[in-house]
Amino acid sequence: MKGYHTYKTCIDACLNCAAICNHCASSCTQEENIKMMARCIQLDMECAATCYAAAQLMSVGSEKAKDICRICADICEACSNECGKHKTEHCQECSQACKHCAEECRKMAA
């Protein structure tokens, strides 16, 4: 049965991405122009939720793991693109984590 050890690299990327997305969303709420950060915060929350779900399904060897990893890669890409538009350190860090996670999820789902 495929599970945690098979998907460890992707699981780690997802958990790291989720943590950094949560940090980014929280940090964005402290920015002066919070309205400008609304899309970033929304995508951070969606990305974190999807990354956690993907990590959980991979760790239990779900037959739906590849499906959620494809969705996760799409959301990570969208989040990476949005965060990449902002020059704050937390957004730049998040953009990179999302990009890496998207790559790992695409490899896993291939």
The pLDDT of 18-39, averaged and rounded, is 95
With bands split at pLDDT 50, 70 and 90, how would you rate the model's confidence at 102? very high
The pLDDT of 1-12, averaged and rounded, is 87
Q: Which domain holds residue 100?
A: 4-109
- Which amino acid, residue 64? K
Counting the structural domains of the chain, the total is: 1
The pLDDT of 25-37, averaged and rounded, is 94
Angle between helices 65-84 and 89-109 (to 10 degrees): 150
**C-beta of residue 82 within 8 angstroms of C-beta of residue 39:** yes
Say if residue 2's pLDDT is above 90.
no
- pLDDT at residue 1 in the model: 62
What is the C-alpha to C-alpha distance for residues 26 and 56, in angstroms, rounded to an integer?
23
- pLDDT at residue 3 in the model: 75
What is the C-alpha to C-alpha distance for residues 20 and 32, in angstroms, rounded to an integer?
20
Q: What is the pLDDT of residues 32-87, one digit of tens each?
A: 999 999 999 999 999 999 999 999 999 999 999 999 999 999 999 999 999 999 99
CATH number at residue 18: 1.20.1270.360
